[in-house]
Chain A
Amino acid sequence: MAVLIEARELRKRFGAINAVDGISLAVTKGEVLGFLGPNGAGKSTTMKMLTGFLEPDSGSAWIGGISVADQPIIAKAKLGYMPEGAPAYGDMNTRRFLQFIAEVRGFDGAEANRRVEAAVEKAALQSVLDQKIDTLSKGFKRRVGMAQAILHDPQVLIMDEPTDGLDPNQKHHVRKLIAEMAKDKAIIVSTHILEEVEAVCSRAVIINKGRIVADGTAESLMRRLSYHGTVAMHVPSSRVEAVKKALLDFSAIASVETIGSANGKVRLQAAARDGAPAAPQLATLIRTRLIEAEEVVVQRGSLDEVFRQITTSDDGARHG
């Protein structure tokens, strides 16, 4: 597949801080890359270098095969970018603002109107066309920012925290929009809302302190968790020991731990050998041995936990 966004060893220092410390990545057509990291990890700085707003100290950025440093105008024409907070000229109304963007992007007359209309429809802005952007709600402002970024139907779309501060309905709308566009674009979305990655991204990159610390699908990242694929079950406290014994008698089960208790029930966690999923074995076991489990849950873990594990263990290593 064609690589539409490429970063090669991007580096940027601000004074004593290494904001971005050698980031390389490639995003192909059809991919939606979730760009994750704690605040200050260098997400925005990386995006600013990819979009040509900031010049890297070293390394290079490529959009649609064009060097951003050498041919900035051609590269920027292939790119739709929504900066953090979706800045827009507040003194303009939505229609005028989008018309201005269309004009700067080289569309005029009927073509400009058609583009503006299409963007308005995609971002569902019909009701606020004649309203000043300053007076719009946060959700609408964000949508104006998106409309601006997709107006020229770019090959490459880069959005810095597109759903930050939106209510659940608005988030849903934005994610739907991203998913719809994903097919024929390369998209980078930065976020610190991890559910978003599972909802829209085909791939996630976690960066910390200016470096990439993880890269893969949401599923593959979650496999990194120690308890991924284990099974948790609630059993009455009177039966705990019996259940534990029954589980451990079974050769496929490597370990059983008590991970909590409440209201006369104990929560056990069983892991299969070699990190294999524990569910199939346990299902048989529960049925044949008549274990009284009230609730059985396969633990997948959450990206939140992966994120915490990856971005804090690094700290621990450095301090330790």
Chain B
Amino acid sequence: MGRAMAELLRKTWAITKREFAAYFSTPLATVFLIIFVALTGAFAFYVGGFFERGQADLAPFFQYHPWLYLLLVPAVAMRLWAEERKSGTIELLMTLPISPWEAILGKFLAAWAFIGVALIATMPMWITVNLLGDPDNGVIVASYIGSFLMAGAFLAIGSCISALTKNQVIAFIVAATICFLLVMSGLELVLGSMRAWAPEFLISAISSLSFLSHFDRITKGVVQLSSIIFYVSLIVFALFANRVIVEMKKAD
């Protein structure tokens, strides 16, 4: 069992390294990192009123992460499988002595690590707020973790959608739309319009699916096990679907 586990990790790691390096082999990585840092900053300062609030915390910074991820994470995920299918390398990959799980996990982890790098690149915000005042760093750490988990969930969905098509643009649009619905399902706007006709259990089921409500709780410093389970189970579910889709579509 131990050896099998080590094998799995070794092969997964080989794929993760390759995929991670692939991001940096094109200007995509640099463009993405610059845009991510610029946008998170811009939203925090101009839209979130970082200075005007007069509070030393990063709430206005984290508040807009779900909306940024909506566009940026599908852009990271879209190439994972679509490119592999388009160039035919999927045939090479799937005839190497690896299990589909190693390929799926390896790719997912590489993309997740890349988003992790983007989050680390926003650390100057954290330093700034510590210089300006005396923030609750525990809440900030929790928010970073929550943001990273949420990005993972967006990403797993994006990876799954990417396996459906050879076209990266389609993969991007479909993934962004699904992520949009998952974010929106927690807004009063959506829930309110349903209250008139939908039964209560349906409304609470839908709102519990929302990325927003779970993330809001985390950024307020309330790290509930249920929120972590929510994101992790979403990742696991999407990766299972990813595996089924890869098997189904690989030869098309």
A101 proximity list for chain B (CB < 8 A):
96
Q: Are A148 and B92 in contact (CB under 8 A)?
A: yes
Closest A residue to B252 by beta carbon equals A14
CB-defined contacts of A62 to chain B, threshold 8 Å: none
Q: With A87-B89, A91-B22 as given contacts, are A79 and B95 in contact (CB-CB < 8 Å)?
A: yes
Which of B10, B89, B91, B250 is A89 in contact with, Cβ under 8 Å? Answer: B89
Query: Is the CB–CB distance between B22 and A89 below 8 Å?
Result: yes
Query: Within residues 150 to 198 of chain A, which ones have a CB less than 8 A from any CB in chain B?
Result: none
Is there contact, CB below 8 Å, between A48 and B25? no
From residue A12, how far is it (CB to closest CB) to chain B in Å?
Answer: 10
Whole-angstrom distance between the Cβ of A43 and the nearest chain B Cβ: 14
Is residue B18 contacting chain A, with contact meaning CB distance below 8 A?
yes
Among A51, A53, A106, the one with the most B-chain Cβ atoms within 10 Å of its Cβ is A53
What's the least CB distance linking B226 to chain A, in Å?
37
Within 8 A of A (CB), among B56-73: none
Which of A70-78, A114-122, A221-229, A248-256 lies at the binding interface?
A70-78
> Is B96 a contact of A85 with CB atoms below 8 Å?
no
Return chain B residues, CB-CB under 8 Å to A5. none
Q: Are A77 and B97 in contact (CB under 8 A)?
A: yes
By a CB distance below 8 angstroms, the chain A residues around B88 are 83-85, 87
> Which chain B residues in 1-47 approach chain A with CB under 8 Å?
7, 10-11, 14-15, 17-18, 21-22, 25-26
Contacts of A48 in B (CB 8 A): 91, 251
Q: A105 at the A/B interface (Cβ < 8 Å)? A: yes
Cβ-neighbour of B18 out of A72, A73, A84, A92 (below 8 A): A92
**Contact assessment for A76 and B96 in the assembled complex, using a CB-CB cutoff below 8 Å:** yes
Chain B proximity mask over A36-79: 1 for CB below 8 Å, otherwise 0: 00000000000010011110000000000000000011101101
Q: Are A53 and B91 in contact (CB under 8 A)?
A: yes
Q: Are A87 and B91 in contact (CB under 8 A)?
A: yes
Q: How large is the interface on B (under 10, 10 to 19, 20 to 34, 35 or more residues)?
A: 20 to 34
Contacting pair A87 B251 (CB below 8 A): no
Give the contacts of B83-127 with A (CB-CB under 8 A).
87-89, 91-92, 94-99
CA distance A223 to B95 in the complex (A): 38
Contact of A83 among B15, B17, B91, B97 (CB under 8 A): B91
Contact of B95 with A51 in the complex, beta carbons under 8 Å: yes
Task: Verify B15–A53 contact, CB threshold 8 A.
Answer: no
B15 contacts across to A, CB distance below 8 A: 104
Chain B, residues 227-252, CB within 8 Å of chain A (1/0): the string is: 00000000000000000000000110
Chain A residue, CB-CB nearest to B18:
A100
Q: Which B residues are in CB contact (< 8 Å) with A77?
A: 97
A73/B98 in contact, CB under 8 A: yes
CA distance A87 to B86 in the complex (A): 10
Inside 8 A of B25's CB, which chain A residues have their CB?
Answer: 91-92
A88 at the interface (CB under 8 A from B): yes
A73–B99 touching, CB < 8 Å: yes
> Would you give the shortest CB distance from B19 to chain A, in whole angstroms?
10
CA distance A166 to B174 in the complex (A): 40
**Closest residue to A90 on the B side, CB-wise?**
B87
Whether A103 is near chain B, meaning CB under 8 Å from some CB there, is yes
Residue of B nearest to A55 (CB): B247
A88 and B89 in contact (CB under 8 A), knowing A53-B94, A53-B250, A100-B18?
A: yes
A73/B92 in contact, CB under 8 A: no
Complex contact A54–B251 (CB within 8 A):
yes
Q: List residues 189-247 of chain B with CB under 8 A from any CB of chain A.
A: none
A41 to chain B, nearest CB (A): 17
Which residues of A (104-132) have their CB < 8 Å from a CB of B? 104-106
Return chain B residues, CB-CB under 8 Å to A73: 97-99
Residues in chain B near residue A74, CB distance under 8 A: 97
The CA of A275 and the CA of B116, in the complex, are separated in Å by 76
Is A35 at the interface (CB under 8 A from chain B)?
Answer: no
Q: What is B's interface to A at a CB cutoff of 8 Å?
A: 7, 10-11, 14-15, 17-18, 21-22, 25-26, 87-89, 91-92, 94-99, 250-251
A residues lining the B interface (CB < 8 Å): 48, 51-54, 72-74, 76-77, 79, 81, 83-85, 87-92, 96, 100-101, 103-106, 148
**What are 20 residue pairs bridging A and B, where the CB atoms are less than 8 Å apart in the complex?**
A51-B95, A53-B250, A53-B251, A72-B99, A73-B98, A73-B99, A83-B92, A87-B88, A87-B92, A92-B18, A92-B22, A92-B25, A100-B14, A100-B17, A104-B11, A104-B14, A104-B98, A105-B96, A105-B97, A148-B92
- Interchain residue pairs A-B with the least CB separation, the first 9: A87-B88, A77-B97, A91-B25, A76-B97, A83-B91, A103-B14, A87-B89, A51-B95, A73-B97
